[in-house]
Amino acid sequence: MNIQNLIRPVIKALKPYSSARDEFQGNSDAMVFLDANENPYNNGVNRYPDPQQKNVKALLSKIKGIPVKQILLGNGSDEVLDLIFRAFCEPNQDNVISLPPTYGMYEVLANLNAVEIRKVNLSEDDFQPKVDTILAATDAHSKVLFLCSPNNPTGNSFSNGSVLKLLKGFKGLVVIDEAYIDFSTEKSWLTRLEEFPNLVITQTLSKAYGMAGIRLGICYASEEILKVLNTIKPPYNVNELSQKKAIELLNDKDLASVQIKSILEERTRLISDLATISFVSKIYPSDANFILAKVDDATKRYNQLVERGVVVRNRTTQFGCENCLRFTVGTKEENEELIKNLLLISKS
């Protein structure tokens, strides 16, 4: 596959803005910086942040085993996804494929970028991609296929066989959104980046790593693809405070794994507790930190929970999710509060 042929002509021709911090690449110790019109008085944030976030990437590279050159960071994965649209999808001409029920941002970003979104529903019984139907829905203008695995809001991972067929059969970029991969029993596709030149993987520090507040999304892809995204990304897209906090928490080696372990234990407990609620009729298998469950009347139950101070996600309007609520796995205390209130509601 020739990635160059997928890039929008305007992007190919673009000359990127070169920031002061991009142009000076020498050793930054003991230098006098009079190049960026900053205030010289040190308060910890008076300097522009590193536009290439070298220290954060070095840590991620070590944790994930991927070379720094194959990592790009964004202001949340939502920014990364937006960069992919802007680099590869010609407005009013190209299209992308998404597989409902899934993460809502793919459609929002498609609309924002004036790019047609072709929806091919997941199978209704087990929420798996229908490979042949997906490939039949594509044409020469299909630039990106979004695979969210583990999928939000259903919680399941896509079968490796289906993903493999799509990676081989689709003639554009396959973006695997692995926001929930650290909760999953399935392996990440990161180890197979070399094999598939059209593979783009997004991850985030917002979920398992506990840093939704700093907005740090991660894109792993070939150097060729990242070169394009780097050309168009805003120069200082990840701010200094976010970079510092990410470094601090990523350096705390066992923090995430300890928390993930207890979230997974809580998930098991929450699943068995939910099964005791009379109006819960189905609990879907989860490979993530949330549980999708079918109830008798999702909107009624959602409102009853809100009245009692517990906010969950009502997914009833999504394809295949009629009367479904999505429960994020919280702390032991939070989950007990949820179950206590569900029991009270069921007895009222």
Ligand X SMILES: *Cc1c(COP(=O)(O)O)cnc(C)c1O
Q: Which residues bind ligand X (CB under 6 A)?
A: 76-78, 103, 148, 152, 177, 179, 204, 206-207, 212, 217
Q: Which is nearer to ligand X, 121 or 346 (CB)?
A: 121
On whether the CB atoms of residues 147 and 163 are closer than 8 A, the answer is yes
State the Cα–Cα distance between residues 47 and 327, nearest whole angstrom. 41
The CB-of-158 to ligand X minimum distance in angstroms stands at 13
| Minimum distance of ligand X from residue 105's CB (angstroms) | 7
**Nearest Cα residue to 81 out of 212, 218, 236, 213:** 218
Contacts of 232 (CB under 8 A, 6+ apart): 11, 14, 16, 83, 86, 87
The minimum distance between CB 152 and ligand X, in angstroms, equals 4
Q: How far is the CB of 4 from ligand X (least distance, A)?
A: 28
Backbone angles phi, psi at 32, to 5 degrees: -100, 115
Tell me which amino acid residue 220 is.
Answer: Y
Nearer to ligand X (CB atom), residue 77 or residue 128: 77
Least distance from C-beta 276 to ligand X, angstroms? Answer: 28
Q: Which residue is nearest to ligand X (CB)?
A: 76
Closest CA to 291 of 277, 304, 303: 277
The CB-of-205 to ligand X minimum distance in angstroms stands at 7
- How far apart are CB 204 and ligand X at their closest, in Å? 3
Shortest Å, Cβ 20 to ligand X: 28
**Three-state secondary-structure class, residue 57:** helix
CA atoms of 235 and 107, how far apart (whole Å): 26
Q: Is the torsion defined by CA of 289, 293, 299, 303 positive or negative? A: negative
Nearer to ligand X, 7 or 263 (CB): 263
* Token duo for residue 273: 């507790």
Residue closer to ligand X by CB (options 31, 212) is 212
| Helices 298-307 and 332-347, packing angle to 10 deg | 120
- In the 3-class helix/strand/coil scheme, how is 169-212 assigned residue by residue? HCCCEEEEECCCHHHCCCCCHHHHCCCCCCEEEEEECCCCCCCH
Minimal distance, residue 257 CB to ligand X, in Å? 20
Q: Can you tell me which residue has the tokens 């809580």?
A: 266
Strand stretches in the chain, DSSP E: 71-75, 95-98, 116-119, 142-148, 173-177, 199-204, 216-220, 280-283, 290-295, 313-314, 324-328
Nearer to ligand X, 89 or 109 (CB): 109
Beta bridge partners of 202: 177, 219
Longest Cα–Cα distance of the chain, Å, equals 70
